Amino acid sequence: MVSDVENLKRNLLLFTQIKDLEIPCLLVINMADRMRRKGISLDIGFLEQQLETKIALISTRKNEGIVLLKQLISNYKELSISPCLNASDIDPDYFDRLRKAFPNQLLYKLWLVITQDVNFGKTDRKEIDAIASFKTKSKSDLKRLQQKETIKRYQFINEVLKKGQTVDVSQAKDLRTKFDRVLTHKVWGYLIFFLILLTIFQAIYDWSTVPMDLIDGAFASLSEWLKTTLPRRCGY
């Protein structure tokens, strides 16, 4: 799975879901060349340990890390298929009944079939219908469980990134990041926002009189020119 260094948290949500399907999954973090400019540093060893996978830090723009990526792909059989977390904790009783009803199926795969109507290659039609008929919960209850699952995954991701990722905006060299640091400041941010609103107000109710006067004067001059020119050309 490919993520970029600036959106790692958001992309890790999908990564943990793929890992729970016990599929060999390699995490590729792109745009490594922007890390210094953004003040971002990653503890790759810690992230690999917590996510139970191999990580390739690359930059496709500068063609960096591609050799390592190829090596990791060629050795995909060595990747761990252990899930990142146990999603069944969101409702142990429900998932326990689901496990007993389908003892030979992967539990998280059953959950995806029930909640998202996905189809897996090794699941035949009769089995899918049997799983779908296991929707003993209402749609609102299933939706609530999905929300709990998402919260649980982000809690795991936040704990991992708390130690595995460091963002020091004071070290950022990117102009946009510097602007963000000022505009989102707890004091200067509100002051700048107020000044912007004041400027817009002034532009609408005060400064606009200058261009409006110019427009009115231009139309008045055009009207006078038409009054004197058109009758003369029409022979009146």
Phi then psi dihedrals of residue 124, to 5 deg: -80, 170
pLDDT above 70 for 135: no
Confidence tier at 109 by pLDDT (50, 70, 90): confident
pLDDT, tens digit, 9 for 90 and up, residues 113-128: 888 766 665 555 556 5
Lowest mean pLDDT among 45-49, 100-104, 168-172, 215-219: 168-172
What is the signed CA dihedral for 219, 223, 225, 228, rounded to 10 degrees?
Answer: -170
> Which pLDDT value is given to residue 106?
86
Q: Of 65, 43, 36, nearest to 169 (Cα)?
A: 36
> Which pLDDT value is given to residue 178?
65
pLDDT, tens digit, 9 for 90 and up, residues 136-187: 677 888 889 999 999 999 999 999 999 999 887 666 555 666 666 677 777 8
pLDDT above 70 for 102: yes
Q: Of 40, 18, 35, 187, nearest to 118 (Cα)?
A: 18
Is the dihedral angle over the CA atoms 46, 156, 74, 23 positive or is it negative?
positive
Contact 142, 115 (CB under 8 A): yes
